[in-house]
Amino acid sequence: MSKEITSRAQDYSQWYNDLVIKGELADYSAVRGCMVIKPYGFALWENMRDVLDKMFKDTGHVNAYFPLFVPKSLFEAEEKNAEGFAKECAVVTHYRLKTDPDNKGKLIVDPEAKLEEELVVRPTSEAIIWNTYKTWIQSYRDLPILVNQWANVVRWEMRTRLFLRTAEFLWQEGHTAHATKEEALEESEKMLHVYADFVENYMALPVIKGVKTASERFAGAEDTYCIEALMQDGKALQAGTSHFLGQNFAKAFEVKFSDKENKLDYVWATSWGVSTRLIGALIMAHSDDEGLILPPKIAPLQVVIVPIYKGIEQKASIDKKVNDIITALKAKNIRVKYDDTENSRPGWKFAEYEKKGVPVRLAIGARDLENNVIEVARRDTKEKGSYSLDNITETIENLLTEIHQNMFKKAMTFRDEHITKVDTWDEFVKTLDEKTGFISAHWDGTAETEDKIKELTKATIRCIPLNNIQESGNCVLTGNPSTQRVLFARAY
Amino acid sequence: MSKEITSRAQDYSQWYNDLVIKGELADYSAVRGCMVIKPYGFALWENMRDVLDKMFKDTGHVNAYFPLFVPKSLFEAEEKNAEGFAKECAVVTHYRLKTDPDNKGKLIVDPEAKLEEELVVRPTSEAIIWNTYKTWIQSYRDLPILVNQWANVVRWEMRTRLFLRTAEFLWQEGHTAHATKEEALEESEKMLHVYADFVENYMALPVIKGVKTASERFAGAEDTYCIEALMQDGKALQAGTSHFLGQNFAKAFEVKFSDKENKLDYVWATSWGVSTRLIGALIMAHSDDEGLILPPKIAPLQVVIVPIYKGIEQKASIDKKVNDIITALKAKNIRVKYDDTENSRPGWKFAEYEKKGVPVRLAIGARDLENNVIEVARRDTKEKGSYSLDNITETIENLLTEIHQNMFKKAMTFRDEHITKVDTWDEFVKTLDEKTGFISAHWDGTAETEDKIKELTKATIRCIPLNNIQESGNCVLTGNPSTQRVLFARAY
Ligand SMILES: [Zn+2]
Ligand SMILES: [Zn+2]
């Protein structure tokens, strides 16, 4: 058995790393800040991607693929976007290596193969895509364009953490083009709801939908909608964003369309994305000190079966029964594995699958077989019980549903207990430090106050919730008049 | 309607470009040598990817993801591989841009953000992956590793062509690790057969399986297996490769395992890949002067239905019938679209879907409805006929199968007619220039002769077919003794 997992109480951040690495989701690589997503972690991502992809297609979107590189002159065209990402751009300057004349067997960058114009490795693709849309859009008949791209992007982060913040990550980025402001706004809200639907109903993680303040907006956006989730250490995590880009990119790239009256206008835009960061969110929201707890609907493996036997004969009769069970489960599209490898003992296997967060573990021995029962253990509550083999498929189907619901409820209860209304600055600081979680407080609406609060406490305004209650009050820091509470938290 | 497509006779190469661009598969981008894969082209790639992905999983492989960047010191570790790719590497040298002090609103590469070690954008991932496998492999129990990755790669080509040769392309690369040479060899042959199966049974394109000569091998491989297809202009196209890498990468990255007797040995490797280049192959093999002809099994759209009507009433009754047809076709997983847009006439639509290569087009008018029939047109032969609406689903299912078979047979006949046995140098040159296609000729087995032939004719040895007939003869160029014929061709 691998070394134990650090407990949350002992070192939350080390606990998280242990889960990722010992749960075999991902590992560090030889490239600073870049991770290797291991097969188990990638299978999780594939399940998430497939669900999201279907949701995007069901809402009328199609996939396409745009270049990895953005020429510098395009990158800088939308000024705010460029400014926002310039500090973290990996830049390709040369297109050839050559053998090092001074060092046999080594290579150097060929100084004669310098690019005339440097290429930025995409940190996000608005620039290259809007430069392309220019050639796709002439009239209102070409609109809307509802395109999504699954891709890798690079943002040169100084401090990286597996899944949560890596120099390279995988994501999807939707980029849509519309004839009217209303339609673009509607699209950006619609995709926020798609994200919330996914995170809540597949990742079992409740989210708060809201809109960012001006300071927290995506660089180049008019409005950034977001979903915010709460982690077990009381820190918030932005799980997805959807941006209303106004006409900013259309203006930067001169993308106009003629409307039904033949009048020219700039095109309206949205973009929206979620990334492998979501994996970090689900790990931190659900798991415990024994290991990962993966949401059943996207878990790479939903059920594992471990045989407990002495001798070949017992094994043979268990195998026979297990094969029937597996056939029945697979017929219901349940992802199941029979672990009858001989080089490790059942106890070791139990711990291993616990660590890897498999939602349901079955164990079956000769005695069970006689009694026509099987031991069923659920990962989330660690409850165990003996169940009849007669309707085991139904038992497991129901259990997977129940586990999802229980995980969601648990996360929801925790989240709700950690939204605290606060009306004084002392309370604000104390709640943030001691209780943690979201703080619902009045804010005077100025960027200065927002900055000051961040400087003093490291808490940021996570969002102004959608359909926020309007109530008059006084800013928690300045005492200036305020019309609504907003949600503050320390965040990942 | 868009401008016409250049005919093959007039300009084969322009014909190909017209198909790609006017068929809306892909387009050039602002980045030299990089393409934009448009939604229609990407849907085709998604279908190909999904079939291949299932084939890989059915043969025991799992997916993972490794970094985009390869540090130069890792890249150069396997010397032959490094040498083979050094001349076409995009290199990241800096990780930040900053505002240009001399030019407001512009950005420059920040000279203070120079990387200590340059990063190569992966042209292939053996180096980064084998450097990772080192940490995954200790004992024979850790083997085999059967991993595949779907990714983008970059090879800085000087002359590019959409799909066929682009600086960035999408591909999959399998990278497997084995305890024995036999097992690795078996794996590389197995994956060659998987590729051949896919290209023949899904792309309707016959291939010749063979092995490359030493000069044509993948850089760093001990043996390169390949599948070769023939295009309509008589040039060959390498459609997929599978490499037996021996212990070369294990030695370069010091990857050893202890066997059952606790003896240390280097690990054996394979790698194998196919790319978006396959799209180029299927375009050039099947299409005609009217446009694309897409193989039914992977076509984004298999059936399009066009209504022909006068007035709202006719339209309404056609709509009703078409909805039934669509429901029935979708129940059989047939990808169907009803094009009842009003801004273009039926004739225009017919030409449009012909250009886009949709295998089956249905047209239905008021008279058809009365007679309980529908017009069915197949794209491959352009045959049209009137069919009963009663069993239209079955008719279409059968037709899609027949179209696949016909496309395969047609390509096979063309290919077989263009394999010419040749025994003299004059014949060789004449056949290559006039008849084109594959030439089956004796070769003395030396790299010098191979090079000389390439120099004189631009023909290369495409492969030594698997299970090649052994017969004594004389080299077509030198007259030296030879034990077998090999296949020469000019190639993409
Ligand atoms: Zn608490
Ligand atoms: Zn011919």
Please choose, from the candidates B59, B160, B72, the residue with its C-alpha nearest in 3D space to the C-alpha of residue B115: B72
CATH 3.40.640.10 fits B303-399, yes or no: no
The pairs formed by B470-477 with CB atoms below 8 angstroms and a separation of 24 or more are: B473/B423, B473/B442, B474/B423, B474/B442, B475/B442, B475/B443, B475/B444, B475/B449, B476/B422, B476/B423, B476/B424, B476/B425, B476/B428, B476/B441, B476/B442, B476/B443, B477/B425, B477/B428, B477/B443, B477/B444, B477/B449, B477/B452, B477/B453
CA A326 to chain centre: 31
Q: Select from A97, A121, A128 the Cβ nearest to the Cβ of B30.
A: A128
Fold equal for A12-69+128-286 and A303-399:
no
Q: What is the pLDDT of residues A80-119, one digit of tens each?
A: 999 999 999 999 999 999 999 999 889 999 999 999 999 9
Ordered per-residue pLDDT tens for chain A, 492 residues = 346 899 999 999 999 999 999 999 999 999 999 999 999 999 999 999 999 999 999 999 999 999 999 999 999 999 999 999 999 999 999 999 999 999 988 999 999 999 999 999 999 999 999 999 999 999 999 999 999 999 999 999 889 999 999 999 999 999 999 999 999 999 999 999 999 999 999 999 999 999 999 999 999 999 999 999 999 999 999 999 999 999 999 999 999 999 999 999 999 999 999 999 999 999 999 999 999 999 999 999 999 999 999 999 999 999 999 999 999 999 999 999 999 999 899 999 999 999 999 999 999 999 999 999 999 999 999 999 999 999 999 999 999 999 999 999 999 999 999 999 999 999 999 999 999 999 999 999 999 999 999 999 999 999 999 999 999 999 999 999 999 999 999 999
A residues 246-305 lying closer than 8 A (beta carbon) to B: none
Tokens encoding A255:
């993308």
Q: Side chain identity at B265, as an amino acid letter?
A: D
**Neighbour count for residue B68 (Cβ, 10 Å):** 26
Q: What is the pLDDT of residues B235-255, one digit of tens each?
A: 999 999 999 999 999 999 999
CA separation for the pair B91, B69 (Å, rounded)? 9
**Neighbour count for residue A366 (Cβ, 10 Å):** 17
CATH 3.30.110.30 fits B419-489, yes or no: yes
CA separation for the pair A93, A117 (Å, rounded)? 8
**Neighbour count for residue B2 (Cβ, 10 Å):** 12
Q: Side chain identity at B384, as an amino acid letter?
A: K
Contact B431, B422 (CB under 8 A): yes
Domain ranges of chain B: 12-69+128-286, 303-399, 419-489
- Closest ligand to C-alpha of residue B418 is 2
Residues of A in contact with B120 (CB under 8 A): 97
**Mean pLDDT, contiguous 10-residue spans, chain B (492 residues):** 80 97 97 96 98 98 98 95 95 97 93 97 98 97 98 94 97 98 98 98 98 95 97 97 98 97 97 98 98 98 97 96 98 98 94 97 96 98 97 97 98 98 98 98 98 98 97 97 98 96
Query: Which of B25, B34, B80, B89 is the best mutation test for A, with the most CBs of A within 10 A?
Result: B89
B residues 150-189 lying closer than 8 A (beta carbon) to A: 151-152, 154, 156, 168, 170
Note the CATH architecture for domain B12-69+128-286. Answer: 2-Layer Sandwich (3.30)
**Distance from the B50 Cα atom to the nearest Cα atom in chain A, whole angstroms:** 11
Asked if B389 reaches chain A (Cβ–Cβ under 8 Å), the answer is no
Subunit contact A95:B156, Cβ cutoff 8 A: yes
DSSP calls for B196-207? HHHHHHTS----
Residues of A in contact with B37 (CB under 8 A): 64-65
CA separation for the pair B103, A168 (Å, rounded)? 30
Residues of B in contact with A89 (CB under 8 A): 95-97
Q: Side chain identity at B434, as an amino acid letter?
A: E
Contact B216, B161 (CB under 8 A): no
User: Residue B248: what are its φ and ψ, rounded to 5°?
Assistant: -60, -45
